[in-house]
Structure 1
């Protein structure tokens, strides 16, 4: 049997981690034959709750789980780690100024970045889930200079899954029949869900999503707004944030990073911009990517019309402002 893969989950006593840990443990992410060591990190006041989560994981009696470590010390959690789900972040509370939120998250991701830099494997694959995810990933990367920037990503797969599900529902097909939906930009309400390059399989025939939907007004307005505001809609209905769907999306993201994308299919991931599609270099921006041998590459050569250009630039502008504010907190 293979050596156990060391997998970090931060915010491990929280809601998203509760769904995430079960999926990871039973082999949904790294494969049904890959043994695991789960390294669970949370803040000191949450350790009693985290110990309860550890009890439950033990009681699941999952054969793949060879060891579980619960800790409030990032250096213990990241020791020789192969993969990390950065779920823990400071959520925005009522009356909280944006700069206070950024300051709190800079502190968290600075400490975790420094720990990863010192003790994790240089090949570690990191997904940041905790919001503001794009900027938190940039900050973590800044404080882990010995780990390649390509090893830091943030999650926009939840937005991709939401968009895919909306199109599937609209057309009365299964979710698996819709491919190559793109999320551009920030994991925020400025993100741009783009189906101009997406396809759908209808009765065995592959057609573009715009051809199948035949409603440009819907695709440019209601569809985009629904995806952008889906998180708020879930909170309104459930009185809690999207935990199960966020955990599923984080698993999808990491699974595809380890196992690759198929054929010409691509997925959306927040990755460090290299200037592709005119987006400022160094921003953590969601792009369509293909993945092979655990290495992502941005899909090039897609036709971008004026409508898309404006949406892509608007979300890039928000990201630039967010990153600059966070970097100012780093210097403070």
Structure 2
């Protein structure tokens, strides 16, 4: 878990096993992960990821609270894009277990305005709200999310479940390549795969494009000050 500057990537390149898995938490996490990987070219770039699991956990908790179910009974919440205030928490594909039955979250909540408004902004701004309340950033919740992230890498994802991770974009869902973008991910044998072919509506498209634009701007700014 690194607040990455080029020397840290270089240190990994020189001294770490090439099978190392690198989770970047320090903000801007997505772009820090990108720069870390740039300076560790001998390590497969698939071994680098940025943490958006904290945002996923926060989004799941909101939905669970709204429905009055345990957090573990909500699955497949997606965080698209950047670990920042532009991220897009998406529950269009999420499912909740209610009275033993799996129900789409949208059908269970029946409140489009909430899911497209307050729900999204609360997740986007939660980090700032924690800092305002504690005068410090989140600690235990971030540590828990890091543990969840690494547990998913080591143990894989269950059938029918996916998790959110910032990984190198291959252009899936018309996202910009060359950035570390958070996608829905499945994991098997410590290898991640982007979940494909989920339907994306116009509302989601706009949100995904906005966070992708920010990631491109961050990348360009970071590369402009890095020296090979």
TM-score > 0.5 by shorter chain:
yes
Q: TM-score, normalised by structure 1?
A: 0.68
Which residue number corresponds to residue 50 of structure 2? 154
Aligned pair 1:236/2:132, yes or no? yes
**Match status 1:170 vs 2:66:** yes
Cα displacement (A) at 1:123 = 0.6
Between the aligned partners of 1:235 and 1:293, the Cα distance in structure 2 is: 37
Question: Do residues 288 (structure 1) and 184 (structure 2) align?
Answer: yes
Shift of 1:235: 1.3
Q: Which has the higher contact order (CA 8 A, sep 6+)?
A: 2
Deviations 1:268-312 (A, max 9, x none): 000000111111112100000000000000000100000000000
Q: Which has the larger radius of gyration?
A: 1
Given the alignment, which residue of 117, 128, 135 partners 2:31? Answer: 135
Deviation at 1:240, TM superposition (A): 1.2
In 2, Cα distance between equivalents of 1:130 and 1:228: 17
| 1:256 pairs with 2:149 | no
Look up the match of 1:319: 215
SS in 1 for 2:130: helix
SS of corresponding position for 2:123: helix
**RMSD of aligned Cα (Å):** 0.9
Name the residue aligned to 2:15. Answer: 119
TM-aligned CA deviation for residue 185 of structure 1: 0.2
The yes-or-no answer on 1:109 pairing with 2:5 is yes
1:302-326 CA-to-partner distances (Å, cap 9, x unmatched) read: 0000000000000000000000000
Single out whichever of 304-313 and 232-241 deviates more from structure 2: 232-241
Q: Secondary structure at the match of 1:271?
A: strand
Moved over 2 A (4+): none
Residues 185-264 of structure 1 mapped to structure 2, 5 A cutoff? 185-264=81-160
In structure 1, distance between residues paired with 2:204 and 2:157: 24
What displacement does 1:109 show? Answer: 2.2
Q: How many residues align?
A: 228
Q: Distance in 1 between matches of 2:211 and 2:17?
A: 33
1:274 is paired with a residue whose SS is: coil
Name the CA distance, whole Å, in 1 between partners of 2:150 and 2:161: 16
1:95 matched residue in structure 2:
none
Q: Secondary structure at the match of 1:135?
A: helix
User: Which digits, 9 at most, give the CA deviation of each residue in 1:141-178, with x for residues without a partner?
Assistant: 00000100100000000000000000000011000100
Give the match's secondary structure for 1:229: helix
> How far apart are the structure 1 equivalents of 2:90 and 2:172?
17
In the alignment, structure 2 segments of 5+ residues that lack a partner are none
- Distance in 2, Cα, partners of 1:118 & 1:178: 42
**Is 1:303 paired with 2:199?**
yes
User: Structure 1 CA distance, aligned partners of 2:132 and 2:224?
Assistant: 33
